[in-house]
Amino acid sequence: MATILSVAEVSPPHIILQKEAAEFARKMFEPAFKNINRLLEVFKNGQIEKRHFIKDLDWYKEKRSFSEKNDCFIESAVDLGAKAIQDCLENPEYLKNKVRYEEIDAIITICTTGLATPSIEARIMNKLPFSPHTKRIPIWGLGCAGGVSGLSRAYEYCLANPKAMVLVLSIELCSLTFQYDDLSKSNLIGTSLFADGIACTLVAGHDVKADKYSKKQAVPKVIDVQSTLMQDSLDVMGWDVKDEGLYVVFSKDIPSIVKKWLRPNVDHFLSQHGMAIGQINQFIAHPGGKKVLEAYGEALSLSNEKLAPSFEVLKEYGNMSSVTIFYVLNRIMRKVESANQWGLAVALGPGFSSELLLVRWEQL
């Protein structure tokens, strides 16, 4: 098993209210759609009130080259990623003792919204005093599923190295993928939904003395993980890579796919542990959007209470791709104080694919 010891969030500085984003979209997309008022209802109906962007709204009103946007990504990702790592290793909410940088065996970096070689964690290691022997494991291209996948890979790393401590750093600056000249409905939907965020999580192997660090009486331990790819579904979600950068692919069929495909997937996973969905106390759902969360509820027979943390994050932050699941996890870890509770993390991403992670809170 592996233990999740700490989570930290870092939100970019510019807060964009949803009504401001809707007015921005009206001016950008009105030439392409006669029914613009009807289409703009997506901004009102998505249950998002605000989001955080790396730049102020005026910055997006001009055409930007792929190079300019990617340079902005690298600079911001390094600065905010370093802060997320520092906050995670020193988080007084979860940790009674700080974790030293030299104690970290590996950094798993999750991203789908910018390109960097050397990768972001290498650049951060030139700013923070990590051991030069720290393993670097950058993972690119898993989109919204990337956060749960990163935790899963950290769990597997810790199974092989039970004395290890691993950071999962997730950085998504979705606003920098906005395409000024793309007047498609997919880009309009993306403009109403996606946002920027950074998160870092600390995972420790079985032989690490968690009580040396953790302030919590009960901590979530990863029990098992499952990755599933749906065949012949490459066009459901992802990017079209063009000269100007990344163009969003976002099928309107995602909620209906969730309803039909997710339940058998989850049931199969839980059955391997003699469990059913009704035994899950904490549902850690990636808030892909209002309709996606509603599809989770319908497919998995979940109450509004179990989906409340995901709706809360969606309302305050929008969809930050792979980062968003960590914001949900953080809220659930804050409130769970007792042992013997089961949690299930679920996220969907390009492929089309799902990532599942089963945890149990255990007494230290």
Residues marked as catalytic? 144
Cβ atoms of residues 46 and 290 within 8 Å:
yes
**What are the respective helix, strand and coil percentages of the chain, to the nearest 5?**
45, 25, 30
Query: CA 194 to CA 25: how far, in whole Å?
Result: 13
Q: How many CA atoms lie within 13 A of 254 on its CB side?
A: 29
Dihedral in degrees, nearest 10, Cα atoms 205, 211, 213, 216: 110
Query: CA 302 to CA 344: how far, in whole Å?
Result: 12
Report the DSSP beta bridge partners of residue 205: 2
Give the amino acid at 101. Answer: Y
Query: CA 266 to CA 277: how far, in whole Å?
Result: 8
Instruction: Print burial letters for 283-312: b (CB count within 10 Å at least 16), e (below 16).
Output: bbbbbbbbbbbbbbbebbebeeebbebbbe
How many residues does the structure list for the chain?
A: 364
CA angle 322, 327, 331 (to 5 degrees): 150
Query: CA 353 to CA 250: how far, in whole Å?
Result: 14
Closest by Cα among 97, 104, 168, 89 to 135: 104
Query: CA 345 to CA 306: how far, in whole Å?
Result: 12
